[in-house]
């Protein structure tokens, strides 16, 4: 091995070591704040009137299942705009099967898995990758978009006291400035420029997006409907475990909290499926909104309504498509 090759290997090992060290430091800091919040808020958690309404919890679960199934349907709609036509069940099977590896740290393994599975069903690798790029960009943008449009209702919750003024200002800025920037970022021309720059950094060629902006907008609207569905499920789940809905204005607030919690958890890229970051964000916002009297109650609610129920819904959908696939295969042989 030449000196140049040795230096490249050492540089790679050093970068990997630094990455692991940063991940470990962030996880330790996250664990510290979570434990501290639980210790300080344990008393209030014991006094909180926890109750379980199983019919409401089941209704919330069905809405989580509906959102889980919507993921593949939206991805299939993007593929259709790229002139790739997969049957709905096939799209569900490919999407949900590939999602099983999403819990491996890095949030990237499911990408390779879906590309492989989709190619077996007749979708070219390049178009599959483009569709996934558009899917991810519009999904994250949809979550942020949904959160922003619910922000104006925060000052009317009557739980924030002096923070009302600050949140009203933040809401105004995000509505006036944030939404146009978000829409501008979803233009295929803008995304392609970002991908070219990212490709240079990664020293890889990234396939350009061949869709038009008028193809992107319907997909964004589909994601907004998806976030509305799961946000309703999240709100029902909170009510099912004992949270009191102070006013109808709180309903969209809860929906927005779930959406932004998912987005931050996904963008963390540190823990599998945003573990800890999603719950932490949701707990903090539930506490800030006045819905949770302490961080520990918000964290418990986030774990139950924003982690356990979605995982149960995902595993249910994966199991269902695997069983249906096994039943359908003998019928086609």
- Residue 300 pLDDT greater than 70, yes or no: yes
Q: How does residue 168 score in pLDDT terms, banded at 50, 70 and 90? A: low
**Residues 123 and 254 both lie in one domain:** yes
**Residues 33 and 60 both lie in one domain:** no
**Residues 168 and 135 both lie in one domain:** yes
**Residues 173 and 187 both lie in one domain:** yes
What domain count does the chain have?
A: 2
Residue ranges making up the domain that contains 7: 1-47
- Residue 48 pLDDT greater than 70, yes or no: no
- Residue 171 pLDDT greater than 60, yes or no: yes
**Residues 111 and 199 both lie in one domain:** yes
Other CB atoms closer than 10 Å to residue 324's CB: what's the count?
13
C-alpha span between 155 and 289 (Å, rounded): 9
Q: For a pLDDT cut of 70, what percent of the chain falls above it?
A: 72
Other CB atoms closer than 10 Å to residue 29's CB: what's the count?
10
Tell me which residue of 87, 89, 86, 106 sits closest to 97, measured CA to CA.
89
Q: What is the pLDDT of residue 45?
A: 54
**Residues 81 and 210 both lie in one domain:** yes
Q: Give tens-digit pLDDT for 76-111.
A: 999 999 999 999 999 999 999 888 777 665 556 777
Q: What is the pLDDT of residue 1?
A: 47
**Residues 116 and 140 both lie in one domain:** yes
C-alpha span between 260 and 253 (Å, rounded): 11
C-alpha span between 300 and 305 (Å, rounded): 9
Query: CA 251, 257, 262, 263 torsion: positive or negative?
Result: positive
- Residue 199 pLDDT greater than 70, yes or no: no
On whether the CB atoms of residues 104 and 96 are closer than 8 A, the answer is no
C-alpha span between 102 and 97 (Å, rounded): 10
**Residues 108 and 155 both lie in one domain:** yes
Please, what's the largest Cα pairwise distance for the chain?
A: 69
The one-character DSSP state at 44 is: H
C-alpha span between 264 and 216 (Å, rounded): 22
**Residues 66 and 142 both lie in one domain:** yes
Q: How far is CA 245 from CA 78, 146, 253, 278, 284, in A?
A: 37, 20, 11, 22, 17
CB neighbour list of residue 300: distance below 8 Å, 6 or more residues apart: 45
Q: Quick one: tokens of 47? A: 């006094």
* Termini Cα distance of the chain: 53
**Residues 16 and 57 both lie in one domain:** no
**Residues 24 and 148 both lie in one domain:** no
C-alpha span between 182 and 70 (Å, rounded): 22
Between 263 and 169, name the one with better pLDDT: 263
**Residues 58 and 156 both lie in one domain:** yes
On whether the CB atoms of residues 174 and 256 are closer than 8 A, the answer is no
Q: Give tens-digit pLDDT for 138-155.
A: 999 999 999 988 888 876
Pick from 165-174, 221-230, 321-330 the range whose average pLDDT is largest. 221-230
Query: Phi/psi class of residue 222: alpha, beta or left (left: φ > 0; alpha: ψ in -120 to 50)?
Result: alpha
- Residue 70 pLDDT greater than 50, yes or no: yes
Task: Tell the residue number behind the tokens 């609610």, with chain if given.
Answer: 301
On whether the CB atoms of residues 56 and 239 are closer than 8 A, the answer is yes
């Amino acid at each position: 091995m030449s000196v140049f090759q040795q230096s490249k290997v050492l540089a790679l090992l050093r970068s990997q070591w630094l990455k692991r060290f940063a991940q470990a430091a962030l996880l330790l800091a996250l664990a510290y704040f979570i434990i501290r919040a639980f210790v300080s808020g344990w008393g209030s958690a014991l006094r909180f009137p926890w109750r379980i309404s199983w019919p409401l919890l089941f209704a919330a679960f069905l809405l989580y299942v509906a959102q889980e199934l919507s993921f593949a349907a939206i991805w299939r709609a993007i593929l259709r705009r790229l002139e790739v036509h997969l049957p709905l069940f096939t799209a569900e099977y490919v999407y949900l099967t590939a999602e099983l590896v999403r819990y491996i740290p890095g949030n990237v393994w499911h990408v390779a898995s879906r590309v492989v599975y989709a190619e077996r069903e007749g979708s070219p690798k390049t178009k599959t990758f483009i569709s996934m790029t558009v899917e991810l960009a519009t999904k994250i943008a949809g979550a942020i978009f949904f959160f922003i449009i619910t922000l104006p209702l925060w000052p009317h919750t009557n739980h924030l006291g002096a923070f009302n003024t600050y949140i009203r200002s933040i809401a105004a800025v995000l509505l006036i400035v944030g939404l146009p920037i978000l829409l501008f970022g979803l233009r295929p021309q803008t995304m392609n420029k970002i991908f070219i720059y990212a490709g240079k950094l990664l020293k890889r060629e990234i396939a350009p997006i061949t869709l038009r902006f008028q193809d992107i907008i319907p997909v964004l609207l589909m994601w907004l409907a998806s976030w509305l569905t799961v946000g309703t499920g999240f709100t029902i789940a909170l009510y099912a475990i004992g949270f009191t809905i102070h006013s109808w204005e709180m309903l969209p607030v809860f929906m927005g909290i779930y959406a932004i919690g998912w987005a931050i958890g996904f963008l963390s890229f540190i823990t599998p499926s945003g573990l800890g970051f999603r719950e932490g964000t949701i707990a903090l916002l539930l506490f800030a909104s006045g819905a949770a009297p302490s961080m520990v109650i918000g964290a418990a609610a986030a774990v139950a309504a924003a982690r356990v129920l979605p995982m149960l819904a995902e595993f249910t959908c994966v199991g269902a498509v695997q069983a249906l696939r096994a039943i359908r295969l003998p019928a086609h042989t």
